[in-house]
Structure 1
Amino acid sequence: MLETKVEAFLSHHSFSLEDKKIVVGVSGGPDSLALLHYLLRQKEKQNITIVAAHVDHMFRGEESFEDAMFVKSFCEENEIPFEMARINIPEMMERTGKSSQVAAREARYDFFNEVMERYGFKLLALAHHGDDQIETMLMRFTRGSSGKARAGIPFLRPFHKGCIFRPFLSMTKKEIEEYCRINDLEPRLDPSNLKEVYSRNRFRKHVLPFLKSENRQVHEHFQRLSEDLQTDENYLQELTAEKMNRVIIKRVNSQVSIDTNVFRDMPMPLQRRGIQLILKYLYKRRPESLSAIHIDQIYSLIYSSNPSGKLDLPGGLKVVRSYSDCLFQFDLQSHDKYRLELTEPGSVYLPDGSSITLEIVDHMSPFLTECGAFFNIKNLEWPIVIRNRENGDKMSLKGMSGSKKVKDIFINSKVPISLRDIWPVITNGKGEILWLPGLKKSALEGISQAAEHYVLLTFKSNYLLGGTWNDER
């Protein structure tokens, strides 16, 4: 019965065991022992090579060591190569602060990968079954998981340089136990599987019996749902990645900046996945505390009627919205202050890589853009100073009476908050602001009938100039 169902399941996934070299994760319990026995039976039929790998997590002292010796003895009797590791998970938990399940899983999978590399095998077989699938999907639904996580346990997934496959996902726990009984297998039983302190055990004890009483084949429906969700999610992820190429303005190791106007034009099913892609890119290891609630908060920030806002996410990630710009960045710090001077023709470079160039010319170009400004050399107070903004900065604007706060100019020009502290402010020797490149020019800029020579200042930047705030009026 089990053999027939597993063969049909593998065939459904176009997966052949023939000529495969497989590491099998074996705890000694009913599921993994049945898997090892099943693959042993296929050894000659399909010319497969198997190695058993066992990890003693050292939770139960001598009892867990006896589990390891049981698996070793089974492998010796059946001439199966056996590899094992004893890893002190309680000590690892104390050192890292990780939960027992997370620490054990990471240690176990690291060892499996080590064995695969040592033998040069590309496949790892694990004994997750249909009941595990139901429990996993229900737990994730309850927890509020989204995207591919809702699809539960995949039959096949990449794992380091190889793949993990799970041939028992079509089977129930009861069918596996029956297989053990028929084949005189006497697996070890882990008493921790009965403790209700673990959420999985609570689902197993209280929820699964009810579902199975409603439909004995419920595991098949959950498996079908899992595969449908995985297929749909793969397609939606491809569409999301394609659309996000137009949404992302800047992307480096610890920073992503997006255009919220373009983001909101994306189809709704792709928007949440777009946020998840950004978080996946930035987080090298996803924090356990990161949840769908945080996705909702980012979503609300992007759609807020307030043009600016800020979120603090787990792991030190900051999300800052400023008009159409939304910045995701770790460890936002205040920018270093800078003050540079020009007393003769030449160039200076700002900390962000931008540059200011000073030239002496005898005429004013009619094609001057927001990247350049002219000043009558006779009216200038030297030196020319390039610096960050300062509290209380004001400037007299060309074509207007009175003065205006630099802060208000930034707000009215919709300069993102993240750029305001690095935007260059150019003054004369008396501290009067001559020019905010790309934004506003002072009353001192422009043609003068009495001028014989002009100072031409040119600003070059691949980052500050661009987007909707380049509106020099």
Structure 2
Amino acid sequence: MHNFQLFIKKNIIKGSTVVVGVSGGPDSLTLLHLFLSIKEEYSLKIVGAHVDHMFRAEQSEEEMLFVKDFCYQYNIPCEAKQIDIPAYLNRNKISSQAASREHRYNFYKEVMDTYNANYLALGHHGDDQIETILMRMVRGSTGEAMAGMKAVRKFHNGYIIRPLLTASKEEILQYCDLNGLEPRFDPSNEENKYTRNRFRNTVLPFLKSENPLVHERFQYFSETFLEDELYLKELTKEKMNTVLKRKEKSEVEMDTKLFLNLPLPLQRRCIQLILNYLYETIPSSLSSIHIESLLNLLSRDHPSGSLDYPNGLRVIKSYDNCLFTFDYDKSLPYEIPLSIPSTIVLPNGSAIDCGILKKPHFLKRGNDVFSLSVERLKEPLTIRSRKQGDKIKLKGMNGTKKVKDIFIDEKIPLHNRDIWPILEDGDGNILWVPGLKKSAFEEADCNGDYIFLQYKEL
């Protein structure tokens, strides 16, 4: 396989240690045999690594013994491990393929650490690449995932390499025949209950009948798409600096108006970068549909709206703000008794200072302060979140006004309204919406002591 030699020359440093994942099937056995053929030329240390997932009892154990014996014949180390995946599945709600992959890759990390290996080589080939790309397209993957498997990518303390992505399954089987290799075949690969097998057994034969070299076209697509995607991602990162207003561990806020000025391809990638930042691991249920739904929400004329994303992430549009948050409901609703004197730290990151003063009319006025005669105080005072139907009798006005309308008039972002503090007395009267409006209950110009409150940012 000429392309294998070119790949090694381009991507591997001489004198390195390479862990080769070996299942015993034709793909991984071919890969291991190819590495053995260049071992001396590149001064490589080769280590075989095999995992028995224990799905097929004696048959899978025999495959493990076959791999260990193969490595012994060629005088290379072999690390093999049996992992009871069926038992693990009984304790955890996860697919068998996801569980197998998780444990297999954790084992590979252990082997790389043991041998101080630079590379983990895997036997994925061109037909696998076709299946992967098509599966991800159908599932609605976005960004780099659309390019399928990378030939080289960072992994643990080194790299995963896939030298056979330009080879077809047929070429691999021919290699096994020419070199007298006798690989083992997993019968589960023919079962159509697995999604990948359905693509392999139905879609792939059709594509190959149209073009026997279709795997080369898909690999070309993968490489060029990835190049384009990486360029657009870097361009998006540059533009992100003008769009983001706030970036925290579990929240990101951006300027919707500036965001919508970006070209549409950068908008999509901007959202993807935010999701990659917030999610430690992107949920499998997250797809391009979520991104398109958000683009539709942000481009609509309506000033507000929200979307629920997987794993508790909420995206909230409000006027020129868009908030991505995992913390939306953590403090809701709230009700905090207000002691006199005291300082109350509020869920929205602000605080209210409360004390008793003489002649508050000498102090600054404005909606950030509120004063009330001690004689007219109806205890207890409470700081709470808003409730449906809240109304306030505004200072200097006849009648009442809905608190909801005050938020709208002041263009308070939707995600801030539910945690905005409201001061209520013991009779249920709303005395003050801190920072926004005062009620007619405020007093500042008569004799006696006053309760004086000040709203401030921390």
Asked if Structure 1 and Structure 2 have the same fold, meaning a TM-score greater than 0.5 normalized by the shorter chain, the answer is yes
Contact 1:384 1:426 in 2 (8 A): no
Q: 2:419 aligns with which of 400, 419, 422?
A: 422
C-alpha distance in structure 1 between counterparts of 2:89 and 2:216, whole Å: 36
Does residue 255 of structure 2 align to residue 255 of structure 1?
A: no
Contact 1:134 1:222 in 2 (8 A): yes
Deviations 1:377-407 (A, max 9, x none): 6996477945124555433334433321222
Distance 1:316 1:429, change over 3 A: closer
Contact 1:376 1:451 in 2 (8 A): no
Q: Residue 170 of structure 1 corresponds to which residue in structure 2?
A: 166
Distance 1:402 1:230, change over 3 A: same
C-alpha distance in structure 2 between counterparts of 1:29 and 1:443, whole Å: 81
Q: Residue 139 of structure 1 corresponds to which residue in structure 2?
A: 135
Q: Residue 407 of structure 2 corresponds to which residue in structure 1?
A: 410
C-alpha distance in structure 2 between counterparts of 1:283 and 1:247, whole Å: 20
Contact 2:48 2:79 in 1 (8 A): yes
Deviations 1:170-216 (A, max 9, x none): 21222222222221111111222222222322322333333333333
Q: 1:371 aligns with which of 364, 368, 373?
A: 368
**Deviates further, 75-84 or 243-252:** 243-252
C-alpha distance in structure 2 between counterparts of 1:361 and 1:233, whole Å: 65
Deviations 1:405-430 (A, max 9, x none): 22221233232343334322246777
Residue 360 of structure 1 deviates from its aligned partner by 4.7
Does residue 35 of structure 2 align to residue 32 of structure 1?
A: no
SS at match of 2:335: coil
Q: 2:4 aligns with which of 1, 6, 9?
A: 6
C-alpha distance in structure 2 between counterparts of 1:204 and 1:92, whole Å: 27
Does residue 293 of structure 2 align to residue 312 of structure 1?
A: no
Residue 231 of structure 1 deviates from its aligned partner by 1.6
Q: Residue 112 of structure 2 corresponds to which residue in structure 1?
A: 116
Contact 1:386 1:424 in 2 (8 A): no
Q: 2:41 aligns with which of 36, 41, 45?
A: 45
Does residue 372 of structure 2 align to residue 394 of structure 1?
A: no
Q: 2:146 aligns with which of 134, 144, 150?
A: 150
SS at match of 1:274: helix
Q: Residue 438 of structure 2 corresponds to which residue in structure 1?
A: 441
C-alpha distance in structure 2 between counterparts of 1:451 and 1:245, whole Å: 54
Does residue 274 of structure 2 align to residue 281 of structure 1?
A: no
Contact 2:431 2:441 in 1 (8 A): yes
The aligned amino acid for 1:32 is: S
Does residue 182 of structure 2 align to residue 182 of structure 1?
A: no
Distance 1:181 1:348, change over 3 A: closer
**Deviates further, 130-139 or 145-154:** 130-139
Distance 1:131 1:430, change over 3 A: closer
Deviations 1:320-351 (A, max 9, x none): 33434433334724232112143x6x644335
Q: 2:323 aligns with which of 316, 320, 327?
A: 327
Does residue 102 of structure 2 align to residue 106 of structure 1?
A: yes
Distance 1:349 1:190, change over 3 A: closer
Contact 1:378 1:451 in 2 (8 A): no
Contact 1:363 1:454 in 2 (8 A): no
Which consecutive residues of structure 2, in runs of 5 or more, have no partner in the other structure? Answer: none
SS at match of 1:18: coil
Q: Residue 56 of structure 2 corresponds to which residue in structure 1?
A: 60
The aligned amino acid for 2:186 is: D
Contact 2:359 2:447 in 1 (8 A): no
TM-score, scaled relative to structure 2: 0.88
C-alpha distance in structure 2 between counterparts of 1:244 and 1:98, whole Å: 35
Distance 1:352 1:308, change over 3 A: closer
The aligned amino acid for 1:318 is: R
Which consecutive residues of structure 1, in runs of 5 or more, have no partner in the other structure? Answer: 463-473
C-alpha distance in structure 2 between counterparts of 1:390 and 1:222, whole Å: 56
C-alpha distance in structure 2 between counterparts of 1:429 and 1:204, whole Å: 70
C-alpha distance in structure 1 between counterparts of 2:447 and 2:296, whole Å: 55
Distance 1:392 1:232, change over 3 A: same
Superposed, which structure 2 residues align to 1:205-354 within 5 Å? Answer: 205-330=201-326, 332-333=329-330, 334-342=332-340, 347-354=343-350
Contact 2:256 2:298 in 1 (8 A): yes
The aligned amino acid for 2:391 is: K
Contact 1:363 1:453 in 2 (8 A): no
SS at match of 1:208: helix
Tell me the C-alpha RMSD between the 2 structures: 3.0
The aligned amino acid for 1:233 is: E
The aligned amino acid for 1:317 is: L
Residue 115 of structure 1 deviates from its aligned partner by 0.7
C-alpha distance in structure 1 between counterparts of 2:201 and 2:441, whole Å: 80
Deviations 1:423-468 (A, max 9, x none): 22246777654432221234566986x7899876432125xxxxxx
Contact 2:51 2:64 in 1 (8 A): yes
The alignment covers a number of residue pairs equal to 453
Q: Residue 466 of structure 1 corresponds to which residue in structure 2?
A: none
The aligned amino acid for 1:158 is: K
C-alpha distance in structure 2 between counterparts of 1:63 and 1:257, whole Å: 54
Contact 2:17 2:115 in 1 (8 A): no
C-alpha distance in structure 2 between counterparts of 1:117 and 1:43, whole Å: 21
Deviations 1:89-121 (A, max 9, x none): 222222222222212111111111111112211
Residue 370 of structure 1 deviates from its aligned partner by 4.8
Contact 2:54 2:84 in 1 (8 A): yes
Residue 31 of structure 1 deviates from its aligned partner by 1.1
SS at match of 1:338: strand
Distance 1:211 1:424, change over 3 A: closer
Residue 86 of structure 1 deviates from its aligned partner by 0.8
